Structures are given as structure tokens and as C-alpha cells.
Structure 1
Amino acid sequence: MNLTDTAPATYFTPKGGLPAQTDLLTDRAVVKEAYTVIPKGVLRDIVTSNLPGFTDTRSWIIARPIAGFATTFAQLIVEIAPGGGATKPEPEAGVEGVVFVTAGELTLVIEGERHVLAAGGYAFLAAGADWSLANNGSALAGFHWIRKAYEPVDGIEPPASFVTRDQDVEPREMPDTNGAWKTTRFVDPDDLAHDMHVNIVTFQPGASIPFAETHVMEHGLFVLEGKAVYRLNDDWVEVEAGDFMWLRAFCPQACYAGGPGPFRYLLYKDVNRQIRLT
């Protein structure tokens, strides 16, 4: 399957590098009890990590389970140079994943089926699936990789892997917003086989989340496009394309989209499972 035709989408992808010695070190990075903000300005060469099993690859690990904070997922921004990749990217059999491409082109092989993904390409990778990644193009490929331990439920078949694109999924209007707030849902929210959702949320300029969402789901929010003022716990924080917001359970959140264009972010949340007490 080739998912590279039609005009390319534009999403923020970090380039690394280091700031000049003359730059001020002050930035918007903050770690608090209920949330963390990792702004685009700190996604530099010096904070990248190599990944076992990958060649010509580096990553920014922007979320990992931390006791007392968010514990359900890991999120990485991965950059693969031409010719690089991995034949077995996922080292843990019980871990599912989502790959979302923001730049370049990736060749993804799932259970022997080949897919070529460009910017906007989205793949859900079921726990235990046999898959590989390669950059067979001529430019750097950038993508988000979100990982979560799958929680099986008796009587419910685990979900199968699939590939789609942001461009091919019709966003759904949120109720009573007249289209100002839409969510691109890549899986049916009522499908209990899925225990995580990775969606794209879009706000038109001036649109808002008009109440302080306070809920059990943990969140990773990477801003793909635009800017906004985001309410995190009891703070208002300015965010823009390239920033990452990481929220523990029950962190109040809301936002106003600032314009001049749409404000869009890639959103992780854990869903559809009873709370384990034993």
C-alpha cells in the first residue's frame, strides 16, 4: 500500500542542532506535579537517545512511565536517516504501538505486507505483531512512536494492526461547536478491543475547550500545527507547534486556540479499561 500520493501535509518535526552560545538559556520548559511542558526549543542534539536494533536513527524520548506521575505509555520522536531503520523495532511482545509520520517517507512492513507512509501516515501496531521500519527515501524521515502495554480483556479479541492517513479520515465535530473543534479518530471510541486512542484534535482560531476537563486518562499532546493558550492544572501556558504537553491523570485542562491558522495536536489517552485494584 502506498500512502504517499496527494499534496504533503505540514507537521512540525524537530531538526535538532544546538543554539548559539549568545542565546539566552531561558525557555518554557517546566516540570510540575500534574503536568510537564517540553517546548520545541529543547529538542536538541544533546538530548537524543540511540535505540537498540536501529541503524542511522536517533530519538527524543519525551514521555516514559514515572511513578507518581503518568505511568501508562512512552512517546518518542524518531528520526531515521536514508538507509536506516530496524527489522524488529518493538522489543516487548506485549506492547502495542502507534506510528505517525510527520516528515519524509517510511517503509513499514507488517506481517509481510509493505506500506509506504509519508507525512500524515498512521499505523496501529498490535501487540505481538511482526513489523519493521526502513527509510528507503532520500531525505530524513521523522515520526512519533507511542507505546503502551496492551491490557487484554476476557471475551474480547485484541485489535488487529492497520494503516491509514490523517488525510483520509474525516474529522468529527464535537457537539455544539459548529465545527470549530473537531477530532480525527483513527479507531471507533466504542470499540472495547482498543485500550488506547491516538487521535488528532483540531481547533479553528478562537475555538476553545470551554470547561476544565478533569478525568482519569493520562495524556500526551504534541502540537503539530498552530498555537494556543492551554490551561494545565491552575496555570495558563502558551504553546505552539513542536511543543509537547504531558499530563498525569486528573490534571485539569482547557484551551483557547490563538490563530491565525488551525491549532492541531496529536493526542494519546488510555481508555476502555476498568481500574485494577489488586
Structure 2
Amino acid sequence: MKDDTPTRTHPSYWAPHGGLPGQDQLLTGRAVFTEAYAFIPRGVMSDIVTSALPFWEKTRAWIIARPMSGFSETFSQYIMEVQPGGGSDRPEPDPEAEGCLFVVEGTLDLTIAGKAHRLEPGGFAFIPAGTQWTARNSGDAAARFHWIRKAYEPVEGLGLPDPIVGNERDIEGMAMPDTDGRWSTTRFFDHDDLRLDMHVTIVSLMPGAVIPFLETHVMEHGLYVLEGKGVYKLNRDWVEVEAGDFMWLRAFCPQACYAGGPGRFRYLLYKDVNRHPSLRPRGVPTR
């Protein structure tokens, strides 16, 4: 059987490396698409499902979420793979799109509004809508990172949020109440800043820890498992998940989980926040 476990440059993050299963492999897998959630296991992130993107050089992308009518509608999420010497000076084609980057392997040289940054594994950047930025790989190994894109929803009088650059190793995790630290979140954003219409966090659960109720809420989710394994309740189903798997949850999809061990269970989480739900299709004017 083909071993799809990559060589990792950081022990805490799993990233796809492509390849194809052999002709002797069974077709049965864990991928599921339902009316309430999609589950994309790491084993289907092969070479033949990658996309090339305009103005990105020596780059391919696994597009694991995109807006779809009648499903999740607020965001797209990519896993980007940029080879040495590759990258883009025109990465974002949509002037209304904001973006978040999270590096899982290699290094990424980033400029935001003319200011240079180098992101290593665990590195995070938030790029406000309309901000000029570039991304390049000047290292000697491939850079792999998540890119979450969302059409920004401005609010009159609040102004645009500021760029954010950091690394999760420098952020103290916040323990959830009454959990003795067994369930915690690493927050890249100030959750009291109403200029923001999205949050990206890392959720961590120690072996045996649980999210002990069926969360059912308006926020859409993208959940990429960075480390470990667990069992996730998605709508009516219990689904076994492991590092490298992705879950895409529609608004109001019931959800809960417990960590299976033997190590930590951690995932990168997107959600839309801080805005009234739209009462008409985007682009339709009010009277």
C-alpha cells in the first residue's frame, strides 16, 4: 500500500505532497459530500486535482472550498504549494477580497503594503481587502500554506481592519472555560474588533477532550486538521478524522467532537462573524 505520509519540516502540521495511488488500490474512500457538510480526506489530495492560478509561478493549489449557492457561501480555501523561485507579484485578482495565509511547510517571503515579512511554519498573515501584497519562495524547499479568501463586508463608520503578521508559537492559547486547559484556542485576531468579518483560529484538544455539545450556529466553517486524530459529529454522522483531512460545514450544521489521542488533536478553523445576515442576494440594491 502506498505511504502518503510526507516528510515534514515541522512536527505539528500536515500538508499534502500530491502523488497518485497505485492501480492496485481500492476505490472505496472516506470522502463525503452531503447537504450540510463536505468531508475531504487527505488521501484524495492528489496531483490530478490541483489547479494552476493566473500570475502564480511554479505553483499549484488544492482548492478545498469555494462559494456554492445553497451550500457554504462566504469563503474559499486553498492549500498552496510554491516551489523554490516561485510565487506571485499579483496574487489576488479581486480588489474586494481579504485573505489569510497560514504556513505549514517551508518559508514564504511576503510583502504587505510594501513591508517585508518572512513566514515560517506556524506563520500567519491577514491581508485586508484592497491591500497590495506579494508572495515569493526564496528558499530551497517547497513552501506550503493555506490561503483563505473572503469578500470583505464593510460597515460604514468602522473603517478597514489592519494587516496582521505573526506566528502561533508567539500566541498564548486561551483555555475554554471549565476545561482545565484541555480544550483551547489560539487566536490570531482580536475578537472584539468589529472591523473584522472573519476569524481564523487554531483549536487544540488534548487526548480524550471533547467539545461536549452539538454546536448549531449561523457561522460557516472550514476545518483543516493540522495534527492528531479524532471523531467529529457532522450533522447526523460521526466521522473519523486525522491530520490532513478537511471539513467544510454549512451554516447551522450541528457539530461536536472528541480527541482520539495518543497526541493532541488540532485544527485550523475559519468562520464568518460580526455581520448581519444579508436579506437579499449580493449586489441587489436596496430601495
When the two structures are superposed, what TM-score results if normalisation uses the length of structure 2? Answer: 0.93
| Counterpart secondary structure, 1:41 | helix
In structure 2, distance between residues paired with 1:240 and 1:75: 19
Matches within 5 A, 1:72-91: 72-91=74-93
Q: Which amino acid aligns with 2:134?
A: S
What's the CA shift for 1:92? 0.6
In structure 2, distance between residues paired with 1:161 and 1:149: 16
Matches within 5 A, 1:60-75: 60-75=62-77
Q: Which amino acid aligns with 1:119?
A: P
What's the CA shift for 1:23? 1.1
Matches within 5 A, 1:59-208: 59-208=61-210
Q: What is the percent sequence identity of the aligned residues?
A: 62
1:225 is matched with 227
2:37 is matched with 35
When the two structures are superposed, what TM-score results if normalisation uses the length of structure 1? Answer: 0.96
What's the CA shift for 1:26? 1.0
What's the CA shift for 1:8? 4.6
2:265 is matched with 263
C-alpha distance after superposition, 1:15-70 (max 9, x if no partner): 10001111111110000000000000000000000010100000000000000000
In structure 2, distance between residues paired with 1:10 and 1:273: 33
1:3 is matched with none
1:248 is matched with 250
What's the CA shift for 1:162? 1.6
What is the aligned length?
Answer: 272
What's the CA shift for 1:161? 0.9
In structure 2, distance between residues paired with 1:117 and 1:268: 20
Instruction: Give the alignment's Cα RMSD to 1 decimal.
Output: 0.9
Contact 1:16 1:44 in 2 (8 A): yes
Structure 2, unaligned runs of 5 or more: 1-8, 281-287
Contact 1:9 1:119 in 2 (8 A): no
1:4 is matched with none
Question: Which residue of the other structure, out of 210, 213, 216, is the alignment partner of 1:214?
Answer: 216
In structure 2, distance between residues paired with 1:233 and 1:262: 24
Q: Which amino acid aligns with 2:215?
A: E
Contact 1:8 1:118 in 2 (8 A): no
Name which of structure 1's ranges 107-116 and 238-247 shifts more when overlaid on structure 2. Answer: 107-116
What's the CA shift for 1:10? 2.6
In structure 1, distance between residues paired with 2:113 and 2:248: 32
The runs of 4+ residues in structure 1 deviating greater than 2 Å are: 7-10
| Counterpart secondary structure, 2:48 | helix
Structure 2 CA distance for partners of 1:9 and 1:154, relative to 1, 3 Å? farther
What's the CA shift for 1:9? 5.2
